[in-house]
Structure 1
């Protein structure tokens, strides 16, 4: 818990005290190492996805175009949360300014909403590829992919703008002690001095429309995919076709499950410990496992990655200076 001086400062100031995940010094150091390592791996993995996809001409299909956007979203998403969390794990005050709090909130909600809609777009892409393979290149044209991706980003930003503005207009009390490790809507509503019924309705209906709507489109796409897969003769043929969608289904299940549990329920029914664990899953774990799922289970991507490494190695061997200097 913060000391007396911290309470006085935060009452008179314009920021929040983030109480964080743990108070024991040893656990704070452990989480600092764990989160720091996770952040490095997450950024590195998503950067590799972007670089490999852009360098290999064979990875120019719509699926990889969407994957590049997902990688960019994940990097921004995790960057909005983890760096400040790392600072607070080693900083005794654990302070975040009022502006910093709502910039953080806007960023992660925008990225979360964009990811929801992008995952449904990727499900539609798999539906077209499996159910209409001969028309795939015609339907999933470059212009359509661009506008679909633009729509995903736009929906995410507009959804975030609504929640951020409405939450920032609330008055806050209780010395502005935020029982969380980053600025999120549910814990901010709990410390407001004003009735938050309208805010909860907006979160439930507008946020729910983005989340549930995206999930519904994803499920509809996969219902058609499963129906098409069942028509394929032979078990091996069914498994080979459906395995191309299994990585996407894994990401969808984890991401939508945790987000729905967090946002589509009343704040009065939430548990602090449960909220911390759930937010760790969609805020830290999901951005970490996405590159792993999409790359280690994708033979085409693995082949492109190995070829790029071999090309760079050969190039390095050619430009390496001779061991003997000519006179």
Structure 2
């Protein structure tokens, strides 16, 4: 549990400086500007860490599922090698998603009054400023929304359903309390995952309209 919580904390710590410094600068200066290169760098980092966070929530849910449903086999199933492999897979998925989105955005043409009513660079408002065809970009965003956001959310919910089912079979109140205690930290993360999923789903629908 603490292995993945550590990775989640590191991702959150690194993700914050990609948005907050520029946002604070814009609050204290008259002109709020950001270069195209800075926007791409910010977008690349944000999509990378957001995807990593969502995938980590799914892995953490699976980790709790093994710990509660198969406690005697936990140390064997979730050994150090498996944890490192899952962390590597999460990173590869996040990097691939980020690079594909950035590669599709870089090829677009931007000209004219490039003004966004957002405090950081995000894909939907950035695509709205392009004079090129953004059909492929919309397909990519919608695909990522389905397979990454919705997939992570459904897998996490499925793991929690099995976990709750296993908890209900525990006869002692003390055993149930210990099992629920193991779910406390990941539960906070799942709430954030739901918020991220709804945000991405809303953005995807806006692009399709």
Identify which of 57, 64, 72 aligns with 1:119. 57
CA shift, 1:236, in A, is 4.8
CA shift, 1:119, in A, is 0.8
Give me the whole-angstrom Cα distance separating, in 2, the residues matched to 1:119 and 1:158: 18
Give me the whole-angstrom Cα distance separating, in 2, the residues matched to 1:237 and 1:129: 13
- Per the alignment, residue 92 of structure 2 pairs with 154
Unaligned runs of 5+ in 2: none
* Number of residue pairs matched by the alignment: 207
Unaligned runs of 5+ in 1: 1-62, 271-327
Identify which of 22, 32, 52 aligns with 1:94. 32
- Per the alignment, residue 266 of structure 1 pairs with 205
Q: Give yes or no for contact 1:190–1:267 (8 Å, CA) kept in 2.
A: no
What secondary structure, in the 3-state scheme, does the structure 2 residue paired with 1:170 have? coil
Q: 1:101-145, CA deviations, whole angstroms, 9 ceiling, x for partnerless residues? A: 101000010001111111111111101110111111111111110
Identify which of 150, 159, 162 aligns with 1:221. 159
Give me the whole-angstrom Cα distance separating, in 2, the residues matched to 1:260 and 1:269: 16
Q: Give yes or no for contact 1:125–1:140 (8 Å, CA) kept in 2.
A: yes
Give me the whole-angstrom Cα distance separating, in 2, the residues matched to 1:173 and 1:261: 31
In structure 2, the CA distance between the partners of 1:169 and 1:267, relative to structure 1 (3 Å rule), is farther
Give me the whole-angstrom Cα distance separating, in 2, the residues matched to 1:137 and 1:235: 24
Give me the whole-angstrom Cα distance separating, in 2, the residues matched to 1:185 and 1:268: 9
* Worse-matched range after superposition: 190-199 or 212-221: 190-199
Give me the whole-angstrom Cα distance separating, in 1, the residues matched to 2:29 and 2:89: 39
TM-score w.r.t. length of structure 2:
0.92
CA shift, 1:247, in A, is 2.6
